[in-house]
Amino acid sequence: MSSRFERENAAFAASMAAAASKLSGAGPGPVNKRTLAPPSPSPSVGSTTSAQAIGTPRRDRVDTPAGNIVYSQPAITGMGDSIITQISFAVSWLRTKPDPQPYSAVLGYLSILGKPESEQEFFVEQMRRNPQIQWIPDPNVSEQTWKSGTYVHRPTIPGVKNKTQLLAHLQKKTDASGVSVKDLKDGWPDCEASITELEHEHKILVTRAKKDGAAKMVWLDDASLFHEVDPTLKVMWSRVELPSLETIATRLMAAGQKPASEDPRIKAANAPKVEKKKKRAQRKTGKSTNTHMEHLLKDYSHMKR
């Protein structure tokens, strides 16, 4: 048994040595060794990600050996989309100023005076294009520049800031459309009290919200058309018991008169109720292609009791 084991052990060692010689290229004859490819000049995404995960701080851009610049995000210049917010702040600030303001006051409020002159000029041009800002040119200069003139808020309804101006604006309207209170507040923020006073004086008509009673729309009214009803007549009218609509119609017909209009609610209540029978939808069978299943697809609904 020992001699057999020694022979098998020797054969296994010889086979392992032959396999090792083939893998290392130590066998007879010339051997072509495989050359390794040079490393890539630019790091891959996986290598940069692993490097950052190890502890390298993230940078806004990475300079590769080949000279290419990879940007992680666009540079923040301070203008661009943020100018929309700055313009809205300027409109809100000018709304609180009754007098025209120079560009330096507006830019100073927005903390833009410290920025380059090109950015200031760009912002002034955007202010002049905004429909809610009115630019007033300087009459003392012959040639206007981006620094000349003053700025004031342009409301949705210009020239309406008191009760007299509101009535004049409503009288100038050539149609029956009303005026939105929201548009009035754009140039006259505290108009609610004046609207209530004009309503009590019967000079305007006001529609109000059911939730909080806030004024929504206003129309012109004529105070001469309003007549105060005697309180005694109001009390007497409240005590009168009016007959029902059915009784009024019956009395008119008994007197030989036809009611001007019949109440549709009475007609609907007296109308006999007709129960609608639901029709059973018939089964529609298409063209049968499986002839061996015709006995299963046949319609037997007509044989139902």
CATH value at residue 132: 1.10.10
Q: How far apart, in whole angstroms, are the C-alpha atoms of residue 237 and residue 171?
A: 36
How many other C-beta atoms lie within 10 A of the C-beta of residue 198? 22
> Nearest CA to 102 among 143, 142, 147?
147
63-77, 78-92, 263-277: least confident range:
63-77
Domain boundary (153, 180, 205) is at 153
Asked if residue 262 is part of any domain, the answer here is no
- CA-based torsion, 192, 195, 200, 205: positive or negative: negative
**Residues, the chain:** 305
178 with 220, same domain?
yes
Residue 63 vs residues 43, 69, 129, 209: alpha-carbon distances, Å: 10, 5, 41, 63
Q: Is the pLDDT of residue 225 over 80?
A: yes
Mean pLDDT check: name the lowest of 8-12, 60-64, 245-249: 60-64
Same domain flag for 211 and 177: yes
Q: Give residue 68's pLDDT band: very low, low, confident or very high (50, 70, 90).
A: low
Q: What is the pLDDT of residue 51?
A: 42
Give the residue numbers spanning the domain of 118. Answer: 82-153
Per-residue pLDDT at 53 exceeds 60: no
Structural domain count of the chain: 2
Is 249's pLDDT higher than 60? yes
Domain assignment of residue 199, yes or no: yes
Give whichever of 3-7, 59-63, 212-216, 245-249 has the largest mean pLDDT: 212-216
Distances (CA, A) of 228 to 9, 108, 111, 260: 128, 57, 59, 30
CA distances from 76 to 60, 80, 286 (A): 11, 9, 67
Same domain, 147 and 194: no
For the segment 115-174, what is each residue's pLDDT rounded down to a tens digit?
899 999 999 999 999 999 999 999 998 899 999 999 999 999 988 989 999 999 999 988
Cα 106 to Cα 95, 134, 141, 264, distances in angstroms? 12, 13, 21, 65
